[in-house]
Structure 1
Amino acid sequence: MNVMEYVAALRRQWIAIIVLSALGAVAGLALGKLTPPTYQATSQVFVSVTSGETIQELAQGTTFTQNIVQSYVQLARTPAVLNPVISSLSLDTSAKHLAKRVHVESPINTVFIDITVDAVDPEEAADIANAIADQLPETVESLTPTAKETPSGITLTTVTEATEPNFPISPNTKLYIAIGFVLGALLGIAFAIIRQLLDTRVGDRDDLAATTKLPVLGVTPLWGAKNETNKALPMLKQPEGVAAESYRRLRSNLDFVWSGTPGAKSVMLTSARPGDGKTTTSLNLALALAERGDRVVLVDADLRRPSIAKATGLEQAVGLTTVLIEKVPLRQALQSWTVSNLDVLTSGEIPPNALQLIDSPKTRNLISRLKDLYDYVVIDAPPLLSVVDASLLAREVDGTIVVVSSGHTKRAQVTSVLEALEQAGEKPVGTVLTRARAKETGYSYDYSSDESE
């Protein structure tokens, strides 16, 4: 995936990203509301030299004091200090657990000791901090060697008593909300990217081109409401619209790829599966070719699930099969549709031996006759992965177009279609991407999961 594909994946899943971000923020708010508040109180003890008659003795005493302060910092969190505090305050805890709530430090190059205590009750936090500050000198005195063994005495004095805090230090609800929002957004982004990486369906134009290594001759958008009678025919209903213009572009691109193939007239449209839009594309391509005055014939070669007659409103009983079994002459089976230079050869009656009819010299001869009568022959063939009819027809036409539905057709299915055509000795002239959604009146398309014919 390139950068633009990542951006497109995020845009497609923007709702999920927003929802997960909001849920993360709500979870952070809930955590903040449910977490018991923690209060913090701090007392401060000053460590000083109590004796010294000369400047040298005072200097030595100060140096000694700074060195021993760190020992007092460690001492303040030991049972020697905390057990008397627990007894005096009648606390329901142990020295080990209380030590986890006590934080003692000495600012660098000072002889101050800061004693900070965390508690769910503000009064208890202050009482414990002050009790430790009072107990520490007593414990030091009981542990200090006799005056004969020390160069000077040390005095510990409480200079700042802890007071009841007015506000808890935690939970920080605003911080929890921010963290929850960010984590939710990251989860949404991860979801969007992972879903894109695991999505095996063909997406946009670039995805189709990378999958097939073939030119994308057209990208046709969704058009019309599902309950419209002629929703599959923008060339008739809205000839100046974006959808109609996309089929004109398909017509121009087909001319371009055939520019080096003199006499090329017949094109077959197939797909991997039913509902990918091949019939819609065949109908509108035929209309686009006839629009500029060319003589065009549209053939419904899907003898198992024909749909051209229904889409055009023409008679289905007389058509391709009746011509192939020589029940009706070709001229009588052709039906004019919309304009005088566009004829349709519907499927005819559905035969029990569709494959035998398609794989016969009569089919080859019929296509040859149609090429003599018309400038273009457009054949709507069955889905190639459903039946092998399209593989056989591909040998008889000048070019095959594979129709792929954006957001529906899987890449593996497209690959299977190409492999089947390759085994038949044919290479498609290009592909058409259907079901693309026009985001504005232009040629900007994105995924869509809506259904089309």
Structure 2
Amino acid sequence: MELSTYLRILRRNWIMVVAFTLLGLVAATAYTLSIKPTYTAQTKLFLATQSSGSVGDLQQGNTFIQARVQSYVEAAMTPAVLEPAAESLGKPVDELVGKVTASAGPNTVIISIVATDSSAVQAAAIAQAVGESLIEVIDELEKPTNGTGSSPVRLSVVTPAAPPAEPSAPNNRLNIALGGAIGLALGTGLALLRNVLDTKVRGETDLQRVTDAPVLGGIAFDGDATKKPLLTQAPSQGTRAESFRQIRTNLQFAHVSHGSKAVLVTSSLPGEGKSTTAINLAIAVAQGGQSVALVDADLRRSRVGEYLGLEKNAGLTTALLGKADLSELLQHWGQDELYVLTAGQTPHNPSELLGTEAMKNLILRLEQDFDAVIIDAPPLLPVTDAAVLAQHVGGVVLMVGSSRVKLPDLEKSLNALDMVEADVLGVVLNFLPVKGPDAYAYSYYSYETDQPKAKKRNKKAADRKNSRPPALDSIEPSRDHAAR
């Protein structure tokens, strides 16, 4: 994955990452405060020879003490040294074990005695006592065996032990920083794991994992759309209206090479906004000056008539069964050249009815008399209606509800369309968040300069309207669009 992908994952899960980071900081702080502070004191001893002979003697003596220094370091931890030190401090020798360490660096004759204790004074006292005890023990051990003469080496205190001003442990800053780092790493790891396990489509990046179909546009989530779903109910210069204008424009470019004028709008599952998108897309195309036929082919759960407030008991099924002519069933809506064919009565065999030759001829007839035909079809996965209809139209627009459909379901839908050799014109993302990594935002210029032209066009279109819808055969596209 690219860096931008990781950043997007972190932005999606930033609350979890921050929560775990804070949890790590709090846990580290609590742990640090629960630890009793310990203090470290140190004394340093210098090892030298007693002789002061020639240069050769000094070099020989230096080699001797360097060979001995590691032995003295080990001797510092023996009972011979610790017992006298413990006795001088009035403590049991077991208490000193684990509190005292001795060390000497390479090529050095300085021995460091380090002691730790919960008391700064006691730590200094222990280090000093062990150092003095080591001096006495080494002096005794290095004396000649005959008991006469002095030790050839001499240990001297060069750095006396002093009570430390601050505790050596715990390291509050380090512990808290480690706690925050561990929390951050854990939160980031869980965010990445969640991204792997989460198969919901949330944005265009997720969409690209299963299809290379172009994205015709995105529709941001709008709480007012539930009460005011129609494009005519939204502000004309608002984001929602601009979204459908962009989809309309992109769809025209995607559909420019097709001989068929019919476009099918469907989705993978119910609730992804296909019906409202089909309606608003038809309205947007009609507002662009084209004559549009909107067909509600969702015979199982028709919604177009309900949204537009039209008669829905007589419509598509009525025409397919030959009970009425198509021209009698089309209902004009709005001020533009938009005509709606509602679903009609629910039949017992919707799939078979939509796959008949009558349905194919109905679409061809609409294409002859309208600039655009937009068909609202059922979802692809629950029923086969949309796949059947996809064979009669020039292209398919697939709605994808953000966070409402999973990648496997979307892949199944695309495979179903591929099996019937449907031409997927593109995908429209719906319910996109207004904030966050998958947010959908528009920046556009004001369209106030185009309003006089739009009003003039709408007035001409209104003058051509009659009080009732004209017969289908009498509907003709406007001259400028016919010229196109």
TM-score (norm 1): 0.89
Say yes or no: does 1:434 pair with 2:434.
no
CA-CA distance at 1:442 after TM superposition: 1.7
CA-CA distance at 1:129 after TM superposition: 1.0
SS of 1:202 mapped into structure 2: coil
SS of 2:313 mapped into structure 1: coil
Change (3 A) 1:209 1:47: closer
SS of 1:343 mapped into structure 2: strand
On the 8 A contact 1:209/1:215 being kept in 2, the answer is: no
On the 8 A contact 2:140/2:151 being kept in 1, the answer is: no
Say yes or no: does 1:203 pair with 2:218.
no
- Residue from 120, 123, 133 that aligns with 2:121: 123
Distance 2:166 2:205 in 1: 58
Q: In the alignment, what sits opposite 2:349? A: 353
Query: What do the CA deviations read for 1:62-85 (whole angstroms, capped 9, x no partner)?
Result: 442333222211211233322443
On the 8 A contact 2:215/2:427 being kept in 1, the answer is: yes
Change (3 A) 1:66 1:303: same
Say yes or no: does 1:268 pair with 2:234.
no
Query: What do the CA deviations read for 1:306-355 (whole angstroms, capped 9, x no partner)?
Result: 11122222222222222222334323322222224101111122223322
Distance 2:205 2:157 in 1: 75
Query: What do the CA deviations read for 1:28-47 (whole angstroms, capped 9, x no partner)?
Result: 21121011111111122232
Distance 2:254 2:43 in 1: 86
Change (3 A) 1:339 1:69: same
Change (3 A) 1:353 1:56: closer
Query: What do the CA deviations read for 1:108-155 (whole angstroms, capped 9, x no partner)?
Result: 554332211112222332222122112112322443251679996222
Distance 1:390 1:281 in 2: 16
- Residue from 412, 415, 420 that aligns with 2:416: 420
Change (3 A) 1:54 1:8: closer
Q: In the alignment, what sits opposite 1:242? A: 239
Say yes or no: does 1:401 pair with 2:397.
yes
Q: In the alignment, what sits opposite 2:183? A: 184
On the 8 A contact 1:205/1:219 being kept in 2, the answer is: no
Say yes or no: does 1:47 pair with 2:47.
yes
Q: In the alignment, what sits opposite 1:233? A: 230
Distance 1:136 1:209 in 2: 74
Paired AA for residue 21 in structure 1? T
Instruction: Give the number of equivalent residue pairs.
Output: 439
Q: In the alignment, what sits opposite 2:85? A: 85
Q: In the alignment, what sits opposite 2:458? A: none
On the 8 A contact 1:9/1:196 being kept in 2, the answer is: yes
Distance 1:277 1:26 in 2: 44
CA-CA distance at 1:235 after TM superposition: 4.9
Change (3 A) 1:163 1:206: closer
CA-CA distance at 1:292 after TM superposition: 1.5
Distance 1:307 1:252 in 2: 25
**Structure 2 unaligned blocks of 5 or more:** 445-484
Say yes or no: does 1:257 pair with 2:245.
no
Distance 2:258 2:274 in 1: 24
Query: What do the CA deviations read for 1:244-274 (whole angstroms, capped 9, x no partner)?
Result: 2222222222221222223x21111111100
SS of 2:213 mapped into structure 1: coil
CA-CA distance at 1:384 after TM superposition: 0.6
Q: In the alignment, what sits opposite 2:459? A: none
- Residue from 373, 380, 384 that aligns with 1:377: 373
SS of 1:339 mapped into structure 2: coil
Q: In the alignment, what sits opposite 2:382? A: 386
Q: In the alignment, what sits opposite 1:37? A: 37
Paired AA for residue 202 in structure 1? V
On the 8 A contact 1:61/1:151 being kept in 2, the answer is: no
Distance 2:311 2:93 in 1: 93
Say yes or no: does 1:154 pair with 2:150.
no
Distance 1:185 1:202 in 2: 26
Change (3 A) 1:236 1:14: same
Distance 1:338 1:141 in 2: 112
Change (3 A) 1:428 1:146: same
CA-CA distance at 1:371 after TM superposition: 1.8
CA-CA distance at 1:186 after TM superposition: 2.2
Distance 2:311 2:6 in 1: 49
Change (3 A) 1:335 1:48: same
On the 8 A contact 1:209/1:216 being kept in 2, the answer is: no
On the 8 A contact 2:39/2:168 being kept in 1, the answer is: yes
Paired AA for residue 327 in structure 2? R
Change (3 A) 1:158 1:331: same
On the 8 A contact 2:289/2:336 being kept in 1, the answer is: no
Distance 1:255 1:441 in 2: 22
Q: In the alignment, what sits opposite 1:449? A: none
Paired AA for residue 247 in structure 1? F
Q: In the alignment, what sits opposite 1:306? A: 302
**Structure 1 unaligned blocks of 5 or more:** 445-453
Distance 2:213 2:75 in 1: 78
Q: In the alignment, what sits opposite 1:164? A: 163
On the 8 A contact 2:235/2:241 being kept in 1, the answer is: yes
SS of 1:116 mapped into structure 2: strand
SS of 1:47 mapped into structure 2: strand
Distance 1:313 1:400 in 2: 26
- Residue from 88, 97, 103 that aligns with 2:101: 103
Say yes or no: does 1:76 pair with 2:76.
yes
CA RMSD of aligned residues (A): 2.6
